[in-house]
């Protein structure tokens, strides 16, 4: 199968798992393996076998290598100290900015294979509680394996459908933040490794009927998340380029009974990676002025896979900076 030409524009991204390692230790290890630090993201990183690396300018503890650099046999990768994760897929946990206190409680509603769960756990500094739901049994085992390897001690994994969880269950009463990265068409994924990680069924064609089904499901997941009484912040993401799964779903969610009842609004741009230049498509939003509140990544052109992130907050929280 020939590679998508956009894939060569995407470096190999490696996230340092700060639960087990530091960026400084990782840099020393890269140098000892013969990689040369590069001050900035240079075109040379795109030449596939160059032995250089650079620090990412948007995501802390994320490093870039040339696209063909292999980490599968790297001891630090095998030990869970390095996580292979596309840059764009690091955005949702950063945008959610989960609490890192002993009483913090967070839900990852759609967790397997666990890249974003492990990122959340690291941002929480391993403190508080992180409930990670996964409906599919096989993917659930992958999730458990990944979290064990990554030393994510504050995570409770739950093999269940998030939609079947009662928002009034006392077990989740302390939850304030939800990460929602549901199944999507995967139409933004252009490089093979991420394709395998993020997409569930690569044989299914993306037709209108399937998109409608997916967006209906995505909307029901957001509406369900909005019913949890203690929750103040929900980060929604897809690796799709279709507005039907992105801006359109977000607008429908904002118009839903649940959003009205709990006063959910979109978080302002300042809370959603303000330095990232590519924002939502104004023509696809009910109110074009809301487009800057959401993030898009264009496959290849942004040196990432295609991606979308939106963040809902209860409106009385809009002025509170540290949620
Ligand atoms: N967040 C993951 C990561 O970064 O590694 C990728 C998540 S993937 C896009 C979506 C996952 O949600 C799939 O593993 C799928 O089985 C799971 N899923 C879909 N519907 C679900 C539901 N209703 N409840 C729980 N998990 C669900």
Interval 93-146: pLDDT, tens: 999 999 999 999 999 999 999 999 999 999 999 999 999 999 999 999 999 999
Collapsing DSSP states into helix, strand and coil, what is residue 218? helix
CATH 3.40.50.150 domain span(s) along the chain: 89-317
What's the pLDDT at 198?
Answer: 55
Cβ of 195 closer than 6 Å to ligand 1, yes or no, is no
161 is an annotated ligand-binding site residue: yes
Handedness of CA 186, 190, 193, 196 (dihedral sign): positive
Residue nearest to atom 12 of ligand 1 (CA): 110
Q: Which atom of ligand 1 is nearest to the CA of 85?
A: 4
CA of 111 to the centre of ligand 1 (A): 5
What's the pLDDT at 45?
Answer: 66
Interval 19-39: pLDDT, tens: 999 999 999 999 999 999 987
Which 8-state DSSP code applies to residue 279? B
Which ipTM was obtained for this model?
Answer: 0.99
Q: Which CATH number fits domain 5-84: 3.40.1670.10, 3.30.70.1170, 3.90.79.10, 3.90.1570.10?
A: 3.30.70.1170
Q: Which atom of ligand 1 is nearest to the CA of 163?
A: 23
What's the pLDDT at 190?
Answer: 87
Is 44:64 a contact under the CB 8 Å cutoff?
A: no
Cβ of 111 closer than 6 Å to ligand 1, yes or no, is yes
What's the pLDDT at 197?
Answer: 57
What's the pLDDT at 29?
Answer: 96
CATH 3.30.70.1170 domain span(s) along the chain: 5-84
What CATH architecture is 89-317? 3-Layer(aba) Sandwich (3.40)
Residue nearest to atom 16 of ligand 1 (CA): 136
Q: Which residue has the tokens 């087990």?
A: 20
CB under 8 Å, gap of 24 or more: what pairs does 98-104 form? 98/123, 98/124, 98/128, 98/130, 98/177, 98/179, 99/124, 99/128, 99/176, 99/177, 100/124, 100/125, 100/127, 100/128, 101/127, 101/128, 102/127, 102/128, 103/128, 103/174, 104/128, 104/129, 104/176, 104/177
Cβ of 181 closer than 6 Å to ligand 1, yes or no, is yes
Catalytic residues: 239
What's the pLDDT at 204?
Answer: 55
Cβ of 146 closer than 6 Å to ligand 1, yes or no, is no
Write out residues in the chain with pLDDT < 70, as ranges.
1-2, 40-46, 48, 192-206, 316-323
């Amino acid at each position: 199968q020939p590679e998508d030409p956009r894939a060569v524009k995407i470096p190999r991204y490696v996230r340092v798992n700060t639960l087990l390692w530091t960026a400084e230790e990782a840099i020393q290890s890269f140098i000892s393996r013969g990689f040369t630090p590069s001050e900035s993201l240079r075109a040379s990183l795109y030449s596939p076998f160059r032995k250089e690396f650079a620090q990412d300018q948007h995501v802390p503890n994320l490093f870039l290598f040339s696209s063909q650099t292999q980490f599968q046999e790297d001891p630090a990768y095998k030990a869970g100290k390095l996580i292979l994760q596309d840059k764009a897929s690091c955005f949702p946990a950063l945008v959610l900015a989960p609490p890192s206190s002993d009483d913090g409680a967070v839900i990852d509603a759609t967790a397997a294979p666990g890249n974003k769960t492990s990122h959340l756990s690291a941002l929480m500094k391993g403190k508080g509680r992180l409930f990670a739901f996964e409906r599919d049994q096989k993917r659930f085992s992958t999730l458990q394996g990944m979290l064990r390897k990554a030393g994510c001690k504050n995570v409770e994994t739950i093999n269940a459908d998030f939609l079947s969880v009662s928002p009034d269950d006392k077990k989740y009463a302390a939850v304030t933040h939800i990460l929602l990265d549901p199944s999507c068409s995967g139409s933004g994924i252009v490089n093979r490794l991420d394709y395998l990680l993020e997409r569930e069924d690569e044989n299914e064609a993306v037709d209108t009927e399937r998109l409608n089904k997916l967006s209906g499901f995505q909307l029901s997941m957001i509406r369900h998340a909005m019913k949890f009484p203690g929750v103040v912040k929900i980060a929604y993401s897809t690796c799709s380029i279709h507005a039907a799964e992105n801006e359109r779903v977000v607008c429908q969610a904002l118009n839903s009974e649940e959003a009205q009842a709990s006063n959910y609004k979109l978080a302002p741009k300042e809370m959603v990676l303000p330095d990232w230049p590519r924002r939502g498509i104004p023509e696809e939003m009910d109110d074009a002025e809301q487009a800057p509140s959401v993030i898009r990544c264009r496959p290849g052109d942004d040196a990432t896979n295609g991606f979308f992130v939106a963040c809902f907050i209860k409106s009385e929280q809009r002025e509170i900076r540290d949620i």
